[in-house]
């Protein structure tokens, strides 16, 4: 199966970082694309059609998709592992928090079934900026393509890449058990266990061209990273989905 995972902050003129969760971003600096630009991208590059809408859902915060996937998998409505195309201004692979330490020293030592229910903590647990790593730890994702906003920074979490190499073409999570931060970040010590490799590709928005149909679509509003003006794009994107 193939899942299209959209974030509303992708459709902005610039990329916000380190935002206050209680405020929307400045609409004068982060302006949303116009309606036709969004339609052109979704139809010409992503291959969506209003005549054949996909099962999907609009979420508020992006980590909610983790719980949606878990629910659908447990109900047998989504078969894992599945391919994810992540259209976003952020990689959501844990850059800027301490989830990498928790994942590499504790989480990956747990049985797969227990990984389905990770802790939710502000600094090291599941959140909007790292939910894809937790999904990979559950072995839900078979391939990940990150289609990013042209203004996005390189926010890959290097320690989660195969051989600690962001150009390896794979994400491969590593379990160390007890280890210091330097070991985790630099990978100088051999891990106790390696997770399955997940093919990974990072693509600029203007270069992305999808050629295969999707099975599901999700859209996150991400209020701390979008201005209120961007909410007008939600009903436009909803034309390509049937709520489930």
- pLDDT at site 222: 97
Alpha-carbon Rg for the chain, nearest whole angstrom, is 18
Q: Is residue 151 part of a domain?
A: yes
Give the three-class secondary structure for 160. Answer: helix
Residue 166: inside a domain = yes
pLDDT tens, 208-227? 999 999 999 999 999 999 99
Domain that residue 190 falls in: 2-80+91-222+235-243
Q: What is the pTM of this model?
A: 0.95
Check residue 20 and give its pLDDT.
73
Query: Left, alpha or beta for 203 (phi > 0: left; psi -120 to 50: alpha)?
Result: beta
pLDDT of 168: 97
Q: Is residue 58 part of a domain?
A: yes
Residue 54 resides in a domain? yes
Instruction: Report yes or no on 206 lying in a domain.
Output: yes
Total of domains in the chain: 1
- pLDDT of 219 reads 98
Helix (H, G, I), strand (E, B) or coil at 59: strand
Q: Which residues of the chain have pLDDT under 50?
A: none
| Residue 229: inside a domain | no
pLDDT score recorded for residue 96:
84
Q: Do the Cβ atoms of 193 and 108 come closer than 8 Å?
A: yes
State residue 243's pLDDT score: 86
Q: Which of 155, 152, 157, 166 is nearest to 206 (CA)?
A: 152
* Contact yes or no for 126/63 (Cβ under 8 A): yes
Is 218 inside a domain boundary? yes
In a domain, 43, yes or no: yes
Tens digits of residue pLDDT in 170-212:
999 999 998 888 889 888 889 999 999 999 999 999 999 999 9
Report in angstroms the alpha-carbon separations of 206 from 33, 148, 163, 209, 241.
Answer: 14, 9, 29, 8, 23
């Amino acid at each position: 199966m193939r899942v299209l995972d959209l974030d509303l902050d992708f459709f902005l003129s610039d990329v916000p970082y380190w935002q206050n969760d209680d405020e929307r971003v400045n609409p004068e600096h982060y302006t949303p694309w116009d309606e036709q630009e969004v339609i052109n991208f979704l139809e010409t590059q992503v291959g969506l059609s209003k005549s054949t809408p996909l099962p999907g859902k609009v979420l508020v915060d992006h980590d909610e998709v983790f719980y949606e996937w878990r629910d659908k998998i447990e109900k047998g409505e989504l078969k894992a592992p599945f391919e994810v195309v992540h259209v976003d201004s952020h990689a959501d692979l844990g850059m800027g928090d301490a989830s990498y330490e928790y994942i590499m020293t504790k989480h990956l030592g747990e049985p797969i079934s227990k990984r389905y229910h990770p802790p939710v903590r502000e600094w090291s647990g599941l959140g909007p900026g790292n939910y894809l790593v937790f999904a990979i730890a559950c072995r839900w994702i078979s391939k990940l393509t990150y289609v990013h906003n042209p203004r996005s920074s390189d926010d890959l979490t290097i320690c989660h890449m195969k051989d600690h190499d962001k150009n390896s073409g794979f994400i491969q999570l590593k379990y160390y058990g007890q280890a210091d931060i330097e070991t985790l970040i630099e990978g100088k010590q051999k891990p106790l266990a390696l997770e399955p490799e997940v093919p990974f590709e990072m693509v600029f928005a203007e270069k992305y061209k999808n050629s295969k149909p999707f099975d599901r679509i999700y859209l996150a509003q991400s209020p701390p990273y979008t201005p209120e003006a961007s909410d007008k794009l939600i009903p436009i994107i909803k034309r390509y989905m049937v709520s489930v």
